[in-house]
Amino acid sequence: MKLSEYKYKNYRFLGCSEGGLHTAMALPQYKLMFDIGVGHTRLTDFQRLLLTHGHLDHSSGLAYYISQRALRRLDPPDIYCPPELEDPLRRILSIWAEIEGFEAGYNLHPVDYERYYKIQGNVFFKGIRSIHRVPSNGYTILEKTNKLKPEFQDLPGHEIAVLKQKRNDLFYEH
């Protein structure tokens, strides 16, 4: 299975998809993946995995991914999933650990739809409920910036600089 590369603006996507067979996509600059497909050795380095749903073409490589990270002595991955998948995934991964005779570390996080998860710097992701025949998520990646509140926008720059040293309420997160 060959990985393809696609560039859009400042983003580089790496992945593979064949309807009903496998789907995995990575954003190398953020060290994160959307779905794991059937597993691919070139995708093992990505620390963060955002699962959209549990269909096998999107998730069957999960145990392999976790195991390969452990074998390569990489940190346990952070795996985000629809909340309904947390318990079944833990059971499946426990059985795989029993079969393999080794329990590899992983951090499984059911998505809280009200929360923004930090990726790096001021870049975050947020889970969004999506419609499918099984519980599923979409994800959005966004950059949060601080904007000057309207009541301070008419002030000259030097006054804003002075106020910034005295107050912490000049900006709001956008």
All structural domains of the chain: 4-143 (3.60.15.10), 145-174 (no CATH)
In the prediction, which pLDDT does 75 show?
97
In the prediction, which pLDDT does 92 show?
96
Instruction: Judge whether 109 and 78 are in contact, CB under 8 Å.
Output: yes
pTM of the model as a whole:
0.83
pLDDT band at 174 (very low <50, low <70, confident <90, very high): low
- For residue range 122-139, list pLDDT tens digits in order: 999 999 999 899 989 999
- How, if at all, do strands 117-120 and 123-130 pair? antiparallel
State how far the Cα of 60 lies from the Cα of 165, in Å rounded to an integer.
53
- For residue range 14-41, list pLDDT tens digits in order: 887 877 788 888 999 999 999 998 888 8
Q: How many other CB atoms are there within 10 angstroms of residue 63's CB atom?
A: 21
pLDDT band at 162 (very low <50, low <70, confident <90, very high): confident
State how far the Cα of 102 lies from the Cα of 40, in Å rounded to an integer.
20
CA 106 vs. chain centroid, Å, equals: 14
- How, if at all, do strands 48-50 and 78-81 pair? parallel
